[in-house]
Amino acid sequence: MSESKTLYARLGGYDAIAAVSEDLLTRLKADPQLGRFWAHRGEDGVRREKQLLIDFVCASAGGPLYYTGRDMATSHKGMGISEGDWQIFIGHVNATLDKFSVPAQERKEVLAFVESTKTDIVGR
């Protein structure tokens, strides 16, 4: 029966995805290498970015939300995100998924849609 549920539902819906997004963003901002991307962002900008992250994950997971942000290539153009940055990011994604005990199948699906954005983010 769980196969018929969307990834959004299997992840626990909006509140669970919001909690995971909050944890991930906190990790990214605190990271010695990745923190530079948030170093000069105002509180409001960070809040908006968090909401866009929640919306993106919810929409990507088959939830009822619509992602209204820019596409990944436009959003990350000029940021100079390297392969090393990406690998650190993926490490934080995995640590967050571990913290929330996301099951193997759901983890695989989350990582698949995250990885699908890589070419639009790295080296832009």
Using one digit for the tens of pLDDT, what is the confidence trace for 66-119?
899 999 999 999 999 999 999 999 999 999 999 999 999 999 999 999 999 999
Return the percent helix, strand and coil in the chain, to nearest 5. Answer: 70, 0, 30
The amino acid present at 20, given as its one-letter code, is: V
Domain assignment present for 2 = no
> What is the CATH number for 72?
1.10.490.10
What global pTM score does this model have? 0.90
Count of domains in the chain?
Answer: 1
Sign of the four-CA dihedral 98, 32, 90, 27: positive
Judge whether 58 lies within some domain.
yes
- The answer to whether residue 111 sits within a structural domain is yes
Q: Is 80 inside a domain boundary? A: yes
Does residue 5 belong to any structural domain of this protein?
no
Integer distance in angstroms from the first to the last C-alpha of the chain?
41
Report pLDDT for 3.
Answer: 56
Pull the structure tokens for residue 34: 């990745």
- Residue 120's SS3 state is helix
- Mean pLDDT along residues 32-53: 93
Percentage of the chain beyond pLDDT 70 is 97
Mean pLDDT, residues 5-18 = 96
